Amino acid sequence: MLAIMGAMDEEIELLLADLREREDVTLPGVTVHRGVLDGVPVLLTRGGIGKVNAAMTTTYLLVHGASRVVFTGVAGGVHPELRVGDIVVSTDLVQHDVDVTPLGYEVGTVPGELPAWPADPELRAAAVRAAQAVEGVQVVEGRVASGDQFIASVPGVTRLRETFGAACAEMEGAAVAQVCAKAGVPFVVIRSVSDTADTGADVDYREFMPRVARHAKQVVRGMLADL
Ligand code: ADE
């Protein structure tokens, strides 16, 4: 079954409103909504903010039958050409706040794990097609950098660009990726840019997040029609 996940209410509420035959499964810390969206059986959930919540929720989704995972939400743009409203489709994902360098590992690498988790090519292609149908926005395929930090400084953005080659910064995607990769379950992360992760990112985020989060509905619905 296809699972659709966001971190915040704004990222899933429009999809939830259209979910038919809805059944709510209450789990410790998370409610998973089971139902039918545009004729497709899905699991839909708001996982909460940050990598721990994302990993926990992804695990629940897998245990409840998810065979593909689409994560949708907002991000800070890191690629210099990204503007508020643009959409990033993940090529692969890294955890920028992992640092085991004193033991000889590359920055971002969890010992024993991949340095970056690649997204599924088929889901990526479907996400790009669906995102391109959203009017007036640029679609960029690139690396998503996740960490338990809201990035709001020029040095912060520069580090993510120069150290990781990141296209955008957010707080969940690579945790979803790590859990899905362990289970061999295909996934993709789709992010609308709410700010450019530099000075003033907090102001832009508050202003634009609710609006750009709505792109999620369009992209996910486009994917449902296509998959
Ligand atoms: N989500 C949206 N904007 C973000 C930022 N600047 N840093 C981390 N997560 C974000």
Mapping DSSP to helix (H, G, I), strand (E, B) and coil, where does residue 185 land?
A: coil
Assign residue 111 a region: left if phi > 0, alpha if psi is -120 to 50, beta otherwise? beta
Domain boundaries, given as residue ranges, for the chain: 2-221
Q: What's the pTM value of the predicted model, to 2 decimals?
A: 0.97
Distance from the CA of 120 to the center of ligand 1, in angstroms?
23
CA 197 to ligand 1: nearest atom:
6
Q: How many CA atoms lie within 13 A of 163 on its CB side?
A: 19
Q: How many CA atoms lie within 13 A of 113 on its CB side?
A: 22
Element (H, E) at 139: strand 139-146
CATH topology of domain 2-221: Rossmann fold (3.40.50)
Active-site residue flag, 170: no
Local confidence pLDDT in tens for the 227 residues of the chain:
999 999 999 889 999 999 999 999 999 999 999 999 999 999 999 999 999 999 999 999 999 999 999 999 999 999 999 999 999 999 999 999 999 999 999 999 999 999 999 999 999 999 999 999 999 999 999 999 999 999 999 999 999 999 999 999 999 999 999 999 999 999 999 999 999 999 999 999 999 998 898 888 899 999 999 98
Distance from the CA of 23 to the center of ligand 1, in angstroms?
31
Q: Is the ipTM of this complex over 0.95?
A: yes
Alpha carbon nearest to ligand 1 atom 2, residue: 75
CA nearest to 172, candidates 67, 73, 62: 73
169 CB less than 6 Å from ligand 1?
yes
Distance from the CA of 52 to the center of ligand 1, in angstroms?
16
**Catalytic residue selected from 120, 170, 172, 195:** 195
Q: How many helices (H) and strands (E) does the chain have?
A: 7, 10
Q: How many CB atoms lie within 10 A of CB 102?
A: 6
